[in-house]
Amino acid sequence: MSTQLVSEHAAVRRRTARALTIAALGPAMMLAGVVWAFVQPYRITLLHPHGQGFWWLVIEPPLLVIAAGVVFAFLVAPGVIEDLEEENER
């Protein structure tokens, strides 16, 4: 085998179940927001913005849930997973 292939294969580490669960929370929250928007479409006033102001259009519960999932997935989860991996190495 080529040394490069062995080193690339060795660099891939398996994540623990806890790390996979934390990594899945953000996408699950985003999916929940999308499902909520489809189940209750009347909550998304972007579909019928008659007489609504900017904040009424932007601050909608399903959109906030999707935004929270994005923030968690890209800002919070990587740090938590890194901490878990460091703890597992000790």
Distances (CA, A) of 78 to 46, 51, 84: 32, 41, 10
**Domain edges within the chain:** 15-89
Please tell me what DSSP assigns to residue 73.
I
pLDDT tens, the chain, 90 aa long = 566 655 555 545 677 889 999 999 999 999 999 999 889 877 776 656 677 777 776 778 888 999 999 999 999 999 999 999 888 887
Alpha carbons 21 and 59: distance in angstroms, whole number? 28
φ/ψ region of 13 (left if φ > 0, alpha if ψ in -120 to 50, else beta) reads beta
φ/ψ region of 14 (left if φ > 0, alpha if ψ in -120 to 50, else beta) reads beta
- pTM tops 0.75: no
